[in-house]
Amino acid sequence: MATVGKVITCKAAVAWEPGKPLCIEEVEVAPPKAHEVRIKVVATGVCHTDWEYLFETGKGMKFRPFPLVLGHEAAGIVESTGPEVTRFSPGDKVIPLFLPYCGECERCLSPKTNHCKKNWTNMQAGVLADGTSRISCKGQQVYQFLGVSSFSQYTVVPDTSVAKIRSDAPLDKVCLLGCGVSTGYGAAINAGKVEKDSSCAVFGLGAVGLAAVMGCKVAMARRIIGVDINPNKFEKARQFGATDCINPRDYSKPIQEVVVEKTGGGVDYGLECVGSPAIMNAAFESTRDAWGTCVIAGWTETEVMSISVEKLLMGRTLKGTYFGGWKSVKDVPKLVDDYMNRKLKLDEFITEKLPLVQINKAFGLLKSGKSIRTVISLQDS
């Protein structure tokens, strides 16, 4: 290919500073170095974490350096590979991942966790293994959000953070498996281990929450209560399997008390999919004593959760999950297969499709609650 080994000039949505809209710029994407893969990004989802980092950095999110290219939920095609890359070839369909899987470390070899730390510190800081980014604009380095940066037509990621997927997978659908859907679905299936005929309450009915509802449904839960302050999401939640939907604003008492009353003592599983300490506490207190399990899937990096120790001592379990417990590179191709075999919904999450030049509109739709997932088409811009 004509671009192999050369710098690629392309379009990207650059965040120059916190709190300001993204700017569509021409950027230069350097060739991949050892153990790196350069990807032509075809489609990317717009996740709440992207919005939160841009507009609430320093609040619920740790500060990361600017300028940077956001985006971490994507799918694309391998354009070229760096030295020592053996598992990928140009033309492969792939999903880049913010969570690595080296397959060799103690954590990768353990069934207890998916928390591989290969290149972790650097990727969290927006750079690759050598401490630099592969993206630049107007003569300066542009950091790569979580090591991915899918709001760019091309990006470079470590080969331990890429999942090769089947060639017939539609990239504008399976991109959602790069973050939100996998996280919520796995929160129910892997972290919660929701059981047949159980009762569940899912707090927050965005993409992560709806995926959690879907996971509870697949696990054959008997009752699935969706909780959200936006009643416009209730119809969609029922499509995914919710049996009840409740709005905390319709009640004068705390929502956990409402859930406990409606279920005669609390649910077996509470899943928090917002990232709010107050809602985390509500999800925990909505579970039944003796055996209730609360799973925290909502993302926040700096905030502190407070719970009643007595409620914990009475037999409840509180646990967190990252990327739904999936071993990223290893498990994402299986999730793609499940979608292709109609065992997993993806199309139903997508409420808008927009070109890259309308990325700020996508953020607006997300924040207004009018969108579950907007998918950005990178190559239409």
Residue 77: is it exposed, middle or buried by C-beta count within 10 angstroms (0-12/13-18/19+)? middle
Looking at the fold, whether 288 and 171 belong to one and the same domain comes out as: no
Looking at the fold, whether 216 and 121 belong to one and the same domain comes out as: no
pLDDT at 91: 97
Looking at the fold, whether 161 and 235 belong to one and the same domain comes out as: no
Looking at the fold, whether 298 and 334 belong to one and the same domain comes out as: no
Looking at the fold, whether 170 and 198 belong to one and the same domain comes out as: no
Q: Is residue 4 part of a domain?
A: no
Q: The tokens 């140009």 sit on which residue?
A: 90
pLDDT at 61: 73
Looking at the fold, whether 200 and 147 belong to one and the same domain comes out as: no
Looking at the fold, whether 170 and 79 belong to one and the same domain comes out as: yes
Looking at the fold, whether 222 and 333 belong to one and the same domain comes out as: no
Q: In the chain, how many domains are there?
A: 2
Q: CATH number, domain at 333?
A: 3.90.180.10
Q: Is residue 271 part of a domain?
A: yes
- State the pTM of this model: 0.95
| Gap between the Cα atoms of 206 and 185, Å rounded | 12
Looking at the fold, whether 146 and 225 belong to one and the same domain comes out as: no
Q: Is residue 327 part of a domain?
A: yes
Per-residue pLDDT of the chain (381 residues; tens, 9 = 90+): 689 889 999 999 999 999 999 999 999 999 999 999 999 999 999 998 899 889 877 677 777 899 999 999 999 999 999 999 999 999 999 999 999 999 999 999 999 999 999 999 999 999 999 999 999 999 999 999 999 999 999 999 999 999 999 999 999 999 999 999 999 999 999 999 999 999 999 999 999 999 999 999 999 999 999 999 999 999 999 999 999 999 999 999 999 999 999 999 999 999 999 999 999 999 999 999 999 999 999 988 888 999 999 999 999 999 999 999 999 999 999 999 999 999 999 999 999 999 999 999 999 998 888 889 999 999 875
Q: Is residue 244 part of a domain?
A: yes
Residue 167 identity (one-letter amino acid): S
Looking at the fold, whether 261 and 293 belong to one and the same domain comes out as: yes
pLDDT at 1: 66
Looking at the fold, whether 175 and 246 belong to one and the same domain comes out as: no
Q: Is residue 361 part of a domain?
A: no
Q: Is residue 368 part of a domain?
A: no
Looking at the fold, whether 315 and 332 belong to one and the same domain comes out as: no
* Domain interval for residue 143: 74-180+323-345
Q: Is residue 102 part of a domain?
A: yes
pLDDT at 370: 84
pLDDT at 359: 96
Q: Is residue 360 part of a domain?
A: no
Q: CATH number, domain at 263?
A: 3.40.50.720
